[in-house]
Structure 1
Amino acid sequence: MSSKDNNLSASKGDLPSGEGLKIGIVVSDWNDNITHSMLEACKNTLLENGVSESDMLTIHVPGTFELPVGAKLLMGEENFNAIICIGCVIKGETKHDEYISNAVANGLINLGVLSGKPVIFGVLTPNNMEQALERSGGKYGNKGVEAAISALKMADIKRKFKGFKVKIGF
């Protein structure tokens, strides 16, 4: 479902407490007018839901393509409950956006699955700058808020399953 049809920023609902959670954030500095707005909204949402500022660590990477490596580096430094990755790839005249978006999505999902830690895809893939602005604090909300909500929910799920042994097989 598209952002314009389902704006999580507008209805946060009941969220699990972020108290005691350690959250890593990796943000792309490419399209920084977009990504830094998303970063601010993300951090504010985490703070509003009990995550201490001292329990958040943010690193900046040059572009969205570098998000998976940034997330991997963060995983090696701290015992984070979730890693949020924030970026923006705007469609241009070539297919670069498809290559970058697919590589980043695959890299982040693989990192999350293999590590067993929530890795949140807070990456906009709009057709133009107007759409990016609408999704980074404009009329369709802010994807940074949505990324923080996802991180809180996924970290809570992981916290609830701690100590349970999962048997794989059918």
Structure 2
Amino acid sequence: MSTADKNLSVFSIDDLPNISNKKFALVVAEWNSEITEKLYEGAYQTLIAYGASPDLLVRGNVPGSFELSVAAHWFAQRADIDAVIALGVVIQGETKHNDYINHAVAQGITNASIANNKPIIFGVLTPNTMEQAVDRAGGVHGNKGDEAAMTAIKMVGLKDKVLA
């Protein structure tokens, strides 16, 4: 289902793990900060609402979405970090830069997650317009930050079950 037909802030909360002792890193792109700050706020508030300790949430800023991959990798290398949430937005412009950036970030985050054996969540919006970004950062389609945080919570729980 496309996000045009779904609210990103509605998800199943069945069997969520206890995350009170889990440490999450939130890596936030500064480019398009009017959107990324809303994504961060959604992710932060969702983590808190479902039991994360504010003292165990770490934030790192990067200039743009392209830099999310390496920063997420650095955080994932830390033994005290249980999951990383990468938050950014790449809006289609007049050129194909978004195709290259989006692909590179998705691949980079995937590679970093596998290399570090740790969940790194892709919380990057890839809209065609600023209006679509606003709609997905707390607007009519909810907040991708909420969804990214819930994904991190569920993946931390799954990892604990699978590797226990």
TM-score by length of 1: 0.91
> Which residue in the other structure is 1:110 paired with?
111
> Which residue in the other structure is 1:7 paired with?
7
CA RMSD in angstroms comes to 1.2
- Structure 1: stretches of 5+ with no match in the other structure: 164-170
Range that drifts further, 14-23 or 67-76: 14-23
Measure, in 2, the Cα distance between the counterparts of 1:157 and 1:101: 27
Give the CA deviation at 1:81. Answer: 1.1
Per-residue CA deviation, residues 104-161 of structure 1 (Å, 9 max, x unaligned), is 0000001111211001000000000000000000000000000000000000001112
Give the 3 Å change call, closer, same or farther, for CA 76–114 of structure 1 in structure 2. Answer: closer
**Does 2:20 correspond to 1:19?**
yes
Measure, in 2, the Cα distance between the counterparts of 1:17 and 1:148: 14
Q: Helix, strand or coil for the counterpart of 1:117?
A: coil
Give the CA deviation at 1:4. Answer: 2.2
> Which residue in the other structure is 1:167 paired with?
none
> Which residue in the other structure is 2:125 paired with?
124
Partner amino acid for 1:134?
A: D
Contact residue 16 and residue 49 of structure 1 kept, 8 A: no
Partner amino acid for 1:129?
A: M
Measure, in 2, the Cα distance between the counterparts of 1:121 and 1:87: 9
Give the CA deviation at 1:5. Answer: 2.1
Give the CA deviation at 1:16. Answer: 2.9
Give the CA deviation at 1:12. Answer: 4.6
Contact residue 84 and residue 120 of structure 2 kept, 8 A: yes
Structure 1 vs Structure 2: percent identity of aligned residues? 46
> Which residue in the other structure is 2:55 paired with?
54
TM-score by length of 2: 0.94
Contact residue 30 and residue 62 of structure 1 kept, 8 A: yes
Partner amino acid for 1:4?
A: A
- Structure 2: stretches of 5+ with no match in the other structure: none
Give the CA deviation at 1:78. Answer: 4.3
Give the 3 Å change call, closer, same or farther, for CA 78–25 of structure 1 in structure 2. Answer: farther
Q: Helix, strand or coil for the counterpart of 2:158?
A: helix
Question: How many residues in Structure 1 have an aligned counterpart in Structure 2?
Answer: 163
